[in-house]
Structure formats: C-alpha cells, structure tokens
A and B are shown apart, each in its own frame.
Chain A
C-alpha cells in the first residue's frame, strides 16, 4: 500500500522534474511521460488493491504525515479508490499518448511546462481523492485548477486560447470560493478537522445550514463539472488544450466535481431532503439535453466532444439525483441503484470521452484542423484511429454491448423505480427525466453519426485530409487501452456493479446491495424490475455475425463483388463538394429546435449586373449564440463592466483623497467594532 503510494508520488515528481530539467527533445518527453505513466499505473493498482482487498467494503489506511507541513491528512476508502482507478486509467493512457502527440510541439511551444504540469495535475488529482480533511482537499483542488490552467494555455498564440483560459480561471475560482465557504460551514471554521469528525458533526447542523452547504457544494462542484449554466468555460477551454490534456480534463478533472458532490452531499452530509435530489436531477436533465443539442450544431470536433461532456455530466447527475431522492424517502436499495448508475457512468464517460479526445487529437495531429468540414475519408488513411474512434462513438451513443449502454440502462432502471415514491409531485419528475434522457441518448447517436461519418467517411474535403497519416505507435497504444476499457466495462457490469455497490455501502446510510443485484451472467435491478446481460448480448451478436456469412456461403449466395463509382444520377466524376457536410447533416435538427437555437442568418446574393437570373456568387452565414451566453453571461459581463466604470470614479489619483478614504474607513471600522 504505502509502497505503491510512494511510488505514485515519486513517479509523478520524477516526471515533472525531468520535464523541468530537460525541457525539450525526445528524452524529456519520454521521461516525463514515463513518470506520468508509472504514477498512473501505481495509482490504478493502489485503487484496485484497495477495492479488492479485505472485505471489499471499507478498506481504510491512514497515511502518516510525511510532509513537513502540518494539517495534511490522507486516507483511502472505496470512493477514493474508485476515482483513483479512473485517474489512473485515463491519466495513464493520455500520458502514453502525450509522448507521440507532443512531438509536434517541439520548438513551437513550451514542452517544459506541458510535461511538468501534466504530472502535477495528475499528482494533485490523485492526492485529492485521498484527502481526509478540507485543507488537503482545497489545496489539491487549487493545484489541480491552476495546473490545468497552464495546460490550457499551452498553445497560447492560437486565437481564442487566452480568452478560454481566462473564462476557465474565472469560473473555477468562483467555484473555489463557494467550496471554501462550504467547507467553512461544514467544519465550523476549522479546515483541518478530519472528514470523519465532519460527518458526525454534520447531523447536528441546522437544516438551514445544511441547505446552504448543499447549495454552495452544488455551485462549487457544479462549476468544475460543467453543469448548465456554469458550463460556459468547458466548450471554450477543452478544445484549445493539447488533446491529451483535453482527454484528462474531460475524462477526469470534471469528474472531480462528481467526486466532490458525492463525497460532501452523500458521505459527509448523509443526504438531505427530497428537493436536493430534485434540483440535482433537474440540473442533470437540462445539462444532458442542452449539452447534446449544442453539440449537434458544433463543427469543431473537439468542441463537439466538450459539449458532450456537459451532456454526460448531466446523465451522471440524473443518476445521482435519483439516488438522492430515493434516499430521502428511505428507499435505500433504489437509492443505491441511482448512485451506482451515476458512478458507473462516471467511469464509462471517463473512458470513452478520453478515447474520443485522443482520437480527435490524432485527427488534429494528422490534418492540423479541428473543423470537421475539412475532414473526410480518414478511415482509409488512419484505420486504427478510425476504429478506436468508432468504438468510442458507439459507446457514447449507448449502443449495446458497449459501456455507455450498461450505465444508461442502470440510470433508466433507477428512474423507472420512481413509482415507489409516495409523493406524486416528486414522482412525476421521473417520467420527465426518462423522456429527456431518452431524447438525449437518441440525439447523441445522431451526433456521433455526424462526428464519425463526416470526419472519417466519404471523400476527403481538403488537401490536408488527403495527406493525413496514421498516428504514431504511442498514440495508438494510448487509444487502444481506452478502447479495451470501453469494451470491458461494457461487457462486465456483473463484475462492476457489485464493486460500486460495495463502495457506496455505508455512505449516507446506503445498505449492502450485494444481494439485491442477483448476479449470474446477467445483471438484475432490485426486486427483479429489469434484467440484462451485455456479455450474452455481445456473444449472441458475435455468433450471429459469424453465422450469417457462413449460412450465405453454404446456400451458395453470389459472392462476387465489383468496385465502381458511386451512383451520380448520370453524372460522371464525384467530388468532395457533392458530399453532405456536417452543417447539412445537422440541418433537420436545427430546424426542429430552431426556437432554442435562434440561428442568425445572413444571405448575400450577388447577381449579374445585366440580369438577375444569373447569380455570380452566393454567400451564406449562419451562427448560433448559445442561450446562456446570450441571456445570462452577456448581461452579467455588462454589469461587471458598468460597476467597474463607476468604481473607477473613486480612483482619482489624488493622494489626499485616498488618505480621506483610509480615515473614513478606519472610523467606520472602529465604530463597528464598538457596536457589535
């Protein structure tokens, strides 16, 4: 245990130092990637051992205070171990990938910063999930946020990068402020109180304080997780970061919001009134739907994926919200089902979103553009990347037998249990959430047909896409690991659901659910509401896929195949300009949801001077400004700017006036001290 922990720590430190010392070159990239991979591997093993060893329920290990600073406390438990596995899985693959990916940065951007900050980020994440008091948690939280900020800034000279990084910094610090206030309330102002003490003290807090803690936690963790309407930084910052960093940020960093929410609301507070769950499920449903709707309109491959992170965080929160509602009514087995669905989707999203971002990175690496309209035909030029991206796309679209389906099925089942809730107005939330979740998953499938189809299929739409090449080996291995994880996590819910159940056992009074999920190749939800077996479904599909060609061969079906041109309605010679584009693919849905998008259109037709029956050129522009930018952030930014201008009047530059201010404030403070 201790050895693994120290190995993890020292590997990350080694990786960071190597990057710092060597700066650039294959040696530096290799050593810093090596450090990160070893560290992730050690963290992953640590998590697995912690989950598997002993009675599998509450493995506890207190680490001695080895640091010269006081006030730090670390402890590993089931929840922490689970997230440690997520960090190790995505962090390891992304680090391996980074060796090949960052080669293009040689001589252009600071590899020193990139390699060092990646290690620092992974280190802070790993310690964060082991934190046993608020001080350790907040400190690592801040290190995580800042190192991610530096990583986002890597390609600093690209348009939009600095703006994105600023948005990220502002949002993450707004969240951080809420978190500090939240922990102050929770620990009674003493940040070094251990979580165990906090847990016992939390029951004594007044309901109002508990509500305040919940709201602050939701804001603080939600800002990190990217819930609507706090998601605004996410589609800005994730695309501009280097792709392996995007994978870590979308796969892991935003999951820390989920970790924090479960840790504080379920574990430390022990759950709360039903409206907490109602708020979480509502935010989850809105995030899921808006996330996918904006993703559909995106033609920047990485930004599309970033919007899907908003969507999937929403799905996770639907599960967690359902769990909180059930818990408040004492329906503990169903509550466990909701939380299991949410946490299962957390690790699933980490693996397929990590995979998709790495895939998008390979495409970016090969074509030097993120614009899908300039891609196409890459399946022939980069077959491995295409295959991995396809696996990720099918997984995120919740297609069986991959992992997205397994967790969405569990979330669906949790929602279907909603009829057990005695209060009709709360129970009525569940069918609405079912509808929104189903719409989300249907639209996600449409969106990934677009993302994969436009990017990888048909003819290349630009010269760069024509010259695309397959990614180097290290990048392919990084993607392969995550593709395997997607498949494995999808086929084996029978192995994973009990493990997540045992993590949750005891948190917030959740029971041991081991008996409720009858496990025998197929997974069953409590009281036999639904059963399914992705492993058997997958096996069945595989057998059928083998049998169909065999039967056709036995029945002597004509096996001849001839290659020819696509049918062009009599027209010879097909060019890429005749293909459907991403914009046209999404056009029907844009019309359907026009009320939400409110696209601006600008059509300029340049007629021939002699006759307007001849058109010389047509220019068409259309843009969509996301709802929340328009309604929430723009007015807010204007307010801030207005206030700043007003405040500036105080600042005249006159020293005498400043002295007057100081005196006045001093007198007010003295009076205040006297009265209160």
Chain B
C-alpha cells in the first residue's frame, strides 16, 4: 500500500519535473532543424523560475474566477499524472479514474482557461477562448473513438488494463485498429496541446493565436502555473501515445531495476515523439483556422476506421 502511494507520488513528481524539459527539448530540436543554435533544453526551467519571481498584474475587469483558474488548470493536469501509467502498471489509483476521466479532467482545465480568457474582457482573450473551445469540441469525438478502439482490444477502459493487455498480446499493437487509433490520437495530440499545424506555441502574431491569445492577460506566478500545466498536458498526451500503443519498458514489478528501466524508456519514448513533433512542426505550415476542422475530421475518420477494424477482428 505504502509503496503504491510512494510510486504514485514519485511518478507524479517525475512527470512534473520532466514536463518543462520536454518542451525545451522540442524547441531545441526545432531550432536545430531550422539551422538555429536554439536555447538550451533547460530554458523552460529558467522561465518558470523567472515567472515565479515576478509580481502578478491583474486586469481591473477580472473577477475571482481569473485568480482561481491557474490553480484549477494546474491541479487538473497534475491529477491526471496520478492516473496515467507513466513508469509502472498497474497503479494503486487505477480504480479512481479510467481513460474517460483523464480526458474529461483535461477538459475541465480547458473549460476554466477559456472562461478566464473571457474574463478580462479583451478581444484577444475572447478570440482565444472561442477558438480553443471550437478545437476542443471538435477533437472530442476522435478522442472518444480512439478510446473505444483501445478499450475493445483490451476489454477495459482502464489505462493499466489496456497497457497490460497489449503487453500480454503483442500482436494487437501491430493490428490495424491500434495503428489507426494511434494516427488519430496523434493528430488530436497536436490539436489539444496547441502545436502546429493547429496552433503555433511560439507565436505572438495576433491573428493566428489560440492558446497564447487566451492567456494573454496572465503574468507572474499565474502564468508560470498555466505554462507548466500546458507542458504537463503535452507530456501526458505524449506518454499516452507512447505507453498505450508501445507499452514495452513499463515496470510491471516494483523492483529498482525495472523502475530505472521504465524511467529510462519513458524518457527515450518522449524524446522520440518530441523529435517527430519537431519535424512535423518544421515541415508543415500552420493551417488556417477554418481548415482545422478538416484535419480533425480526417482524424475522426481514422478513429472510426480503427473502431471498425477492431470490431471485425474481435
């Protein structure tokens, strides 16, 4: 019991600490691909330290909602890190929430962030909120169908069950259902974490912003929490992609060797996905906002195909 809790907390702490590094790594690879030297990988840690040291400036128009939102966003992302098998499966908190709970907890954060975008009453905030909710709403069916496809294979929506089922039956991982669901979820990951071609995380160009526009009024410790939460979200989505579809390396027993191996493979998997995203981001131009639904529609079709093939192979 105690080891279980210890595992949960160390896992959450690990992911919390890794998240800025992952964001920094993606930036660094991108810079290299663009023939720039780029900031060091640990730059996001410095940014957090800087932001936590600065005072907060709040709009006169903002209400209490604006002040609690950073905490809700951060807490909901952090809560998810207790539910996802990052380094070990099964987890003691498995029965607290399944894959649907994970998705809706992240939606909880998005919901409040969008409200906070509207709160100061600026046009940018409203624009960001409107776009973010549009993308989130249209991405939702793809996520649900990918879950459906995975759950069909494993006979459960429980994350650890899915992971263990794939490990027990490796053939599933190469089945068309799994591969299609992976592709669908990859597109959704780009959309949900605000990457190109849906949103550009490094832009402050007014008319293309989604996430950045929404959080434009935030500063200081609040901005630090929100940035950290969005990096956490990136890490969570990457880890879901990595561990649900390619679960090898996860510790099934709680021995130090297995855990060390699990941490090592997690970092490798995240790095590989980071490189893939960096390549995608350097190769693809940002889509016009009104073309984004087409992209998400495509991922929806992929997910539907994934479910259909899972059905046929069941």
Contact = CB atoms under 8 A, between A and B. Distances in A.
Interface of A: 376-377, 379-380, 390, 394, 397-400, 405, 409, 412-413, 415-416, 419, 424, 427-428, 431, 434-439, 441-443, 445-446, 448-450, 452-454, 457-459, 520, 522, 524, 527-533, 536-537, 540-541, 544-545, 548-549, 552, 555, 557-568, 574, 576, 578-580, 584-589, 591-592
Contact of A419 (B60, B79, B152): B152
B221 A558 contact: yes
7 contacts: A376-B121, A416-B152, A441-B140, A540-B79, A541-B75, A560-B220, A567-B216
B126 to A, nearest CB: 2
B157 A529 contact: yes
Contact of B131 (A409, A415, A453, A588): A588
Nearest to B108: A399
A579 B114 CA distance: 14
Interface in B60-88: 60-61, 63-65, 71-72, 74-76, 78-79, 82
Interface of B: 52-61, 63-65, 71-72, 74-76, 78-79, 82, 93-98, 100-101, 104-105, 107-108, 110-111, 114-115, 118-123, 125-127, 129-131, 133-134, 136-141, 143-145, 148, 151-152, 155-158, 161, 216-217, 220-221, 225, 289-290, 293, 300, 303-304, 307-308, 311, 314
Given A431-B145, A532-B101, A566-B122, A544 B78 contact: yes
A587 to B, nearest CB: 7
A193 B76 CA distance: 55
Given A405-B104, A531-B95, A578-B121, 9 more contacts: A390-B65, A400-B97, A431-B148, A442-B138, A443-B137, A548-B75, A561-B55, A566-B122, A592-B290
Closest 9 CB pairs of A and B: A580-B126, A442-B140, A458-B121, A438-B144, A453-B118, A442-B137, A446-B133, A560-B55, A544-B75
Contact of A457 (B115, B140, B151, B161): B115
Contacts of B97: 400, 532-533, 537
Given A441-B140, A459-B61, A579 B220 contact: no
B220 to A, nearest CB: 6
Contacts of B145: 431, 434-435, 438
Contacts of B115: 449, 452-453, 457
Nearest to B137: A442
A446 B121 contact: no
A588 B289 contact: yes
B146 to A, nearest CB: 10
B129 A580 contact: yes
Contacts of A443: 137, 140
Listed residue (A424, A445, A563, A576) with the most chain B CB atoms within 10 angstroms of its CB:
A445
Nearest to B75: A544
Contacts of B155: 527, 529
Contacts of B76: 541
B194 to A, nearest CB: 15
Interface majority SS (helix, strand, loop, mixed), chain A:
helix
A359 to B, nearest CB: 15
Given A537-B97, A544-B79, A563 B58 contact: yes
Contacts of B161: 528
Contacts of B100: 409, 412, 530, 532
B141 A435 contact: yes
A416 B53 CA distance: 48
A587 B290 CA distance: 11
A560 B56 contact: yes
A334 to B, nearest CB: 13
A559 B63 CA distance: 18
A345 to B, nearest CB: 15
A445 B143 CA distance: 15
B56 A561 contact: yes
B122 A567 contact: yes
Interface majority SS (helix, strand, loop, mixed), chain B:
helix
A416 B129 contact: no
Contacts of A548: 71, 74-75, 78, 225
Contacts of B95: 520, 522, 524, 531-533
A537 B145 CA distance: 23
Given A434-B145, A574-B122, A445 B133 contact: yes
Contacts of A405: 104
A517 to B, nearest CB: 13
A415 B147 CA distance: 12
A584 B65 contact: no
A454 to B, nearest CB: 7
B123 A580 contact: yes
A160 B303 CA distance: 45
B115 to A, nearest CB: 5
B119 A457 contact: yes
A336 B302 CA distance: 31
A224 B303 CA distance: 36
A547 to B, nearest CB: 8
Nearest to A400: B104
B60 A399 contact: no
B104 A566 contact: no
Given A580-B127, A585-B130, A587-B130, A562 B56 contact: yes
A255 to B, nearest CB: 25
Contact of B141 (A442, A579, A589): A442
Nearest to A539: B96
Given A531-B158, A532-B101, A438 B225 contact: no
B72 A545 contact: yes
B121 A397 contact: no
Nearest to B297: A592
B121 A576 contact: yes
Contacts of A379: 63-65
Contacts of A520: 95
A431 B121 contact: no
Contact of B137 (A428, A445, A459, A529): A445
A427 B78 CA distance: 37
B136 to A, nearest CB: 6
Contacts of B114: 449, 453
Listed residue (A454, A555, A580) with the most chain B CB atoms within 10 angstroms of its CB:
A580
B79 A541 contact: yes
Contacts of B63: 379-380, 457
Given A585-B130, A591-B290, A439 B121 contact: no
B157 A530 contact: yes
Contacts of B127: 580, 584
Contact of B314 (A399, A419, A588): A419
Given A452-B115, A458-B61, A439 B140 contact: yes
A441 B133 CA distance: 12
Contacts of A545: 71-72, 75
B60 A446 contact: no
A442 B136 contact: yes
Given A540-B79, A592-B290, A442 B98 contact: no
